[in-house]
Amino acid sequence: MSALRHLLRLPICVDAPTMKFIPKIDEIIEAHDDSTETLTCGVELEFLLPSIDHVAQDPDPDIANKLLYRSTSRTPEIAHEEIRKQLITTLGQLEGVSFRAMDDDDFHPPHDNVAVYDSWRLGSDRTVNKDCEGNGCSKTSYNWTGCELTSPVMNTHDYATNVDNICRVLKTVRIHLNKSTSVHVHVGRGDEPFSLLTVHKFVTLYWLTENAIFGLHHPSRETNRYCLPLTKYSVLAKQSQSALDSEDGCPNDQGHRFEDYVSEAGLSRLRRTQLRRIWTCGSIEEVAKLMWIRIDMDWKLPGPDERGAVGFCRFLPAGKSGGNISTFEWRQMSGSVDSNHINQWIKACIAFTDFCRLSDKVAFKEFVGKVIEKGDSYTGIELLKALDVDSYIFQVMRGVWARNRHFCNSDQGRELFLSIDEL
């Protein structure tokens, strides 16, 4: 039994209820008690698809077991749409699983940017491109289509099977991954919001373990402009000690006290003041805004150019953020179609969030105290073990990246794509 499960004395999770849609998009809703039901999750998979003209010869005919799509149009946007439609057709072989193009999305009225997550959705993502590599790989015989495949809202009992099935089909297609591709995991409570207390605990534990978590993932993620470390680039991280001292006040109006949940022993003055600032926030919106990314000297919303390693946009009202669906968005994982790797990471994100919402004062303070005591020596592998997550695949991938940080290692032939062994 894991250390955290022992502290919590948690039962095995039961199935979450069937999803419904409720009007929580336009306001900040905070649960008084979020300990009921199980968590839900969603995943976003980013990757690149090669294609060739419909009359061209396959540049790599020896890769016979991988589908290669062809386009009839020489207009890039039309060609990309053709390629994505062909992938939807390929994915459609999965019985009982629905797919649609993001262009065909349904939205929560009256908005045009708050999608209904009831199906797998395939679309473009301008951050996914072949030109980011800087190693000569962009000059190939292929045209490249950036893809983002997002899941419907999934329950704790079915996400692993869903991801297994999707990845099994993707393995029949030529897939290219590079440092522009990533896997994002959303963790929420279905139709229900989190409590302010859970958000306080989540941000506190994440603030103390962010470096350890980055150590589980590809080295490029920590410097990726769409996955910036919150402890370095957030509004809270950029505030000076004097500014924080001036804001260090009383507990929030719900009476949650920093001292009840966090041991100050071993904390630096700045770290202690930063954590105290989190706990003085009187609303989820206030916490979310502390986690905004601040670049240079300008205050700004997280837009299409800079994102934090955990996204808090989905705790804000509808607008540019896309609506208050109340999910923590984990953005640290690099591009992958390895279902075991993805599923173990989803499990870790769920377990981390579950500990933050279900642990009492004593259990949370005890675990946080152990993390603080170890300081910078605390590792992601230790965190996974405490969360009762299999760390083997993460240790394997760390070894792979230590030898070679590139994802696909040639500008032609088999090594341009993920091999069967890597999948």
How far apart are alpha carbons 233 and 17 in whole angstroms? 37
Under 8 Å between Cβ of 50 and 70: no
Q: Give the pLDDT confidence score for residue 379 in this predicted structure.
A: 98
pLDDT band, very low/low/confident/very high, at 423 (cuts 50, 70, 90)? very low
Cα separations (Å) of 276 from 195, 281, 293?
Answer: 18, 9, 19
Range of the domain at 148: 38-416
> Does 118 fall in a domain?
yes
Report yes or no on 63 lying in a domain. Answer: yes
Strand, coil or helix: 302: coil
- Quickly list DSSP for 162-177: HHHHHHHHHTTB--B-
Annotate 11-23 with b (16+ C-beta within 10 A) or e (fewer). eeeeebeeeeeee
Band the pLDDT of 141: cuts 50, 70, 90.
Answer: confident
CA distances from 201 to 204, 227, 287 (A): 5, 21, 11
Confidence of residue 320 (pLDDT cuts 50, 70, 90): low
> Is residue 32 in some structural domain?
no
Alpha carbon distance 148, 146 (integer Å): 7
- Give 21's pLDDT tier (boundaries 50, 70, 90): very low
Whether 180 and 129 have beta carbons less than 8 Å apart is answered as yes
Model pLDDT for residues 292-317, shown as the tens digit of each residue: 887 654 444 444 456 799 999 888 76
In a domain, 47, yes or no: yes
The alpha helices in 46-195, defined as continuous H runs, are 76-91, 159-170
> Is residue 46 domain-resident?
yes
Whether residue 11 is contained in a domain is answered as no
21 located within any domain: no
Percent of the chain residues topping a pLDDT of 70: 79
Residue at 1 is within a domain: no
C-beta of residue 144 within 8 angstroms of C-beta of residue 91:
no
Total-model pTM: 0.89
- In the chain, the number of structural domains is 1
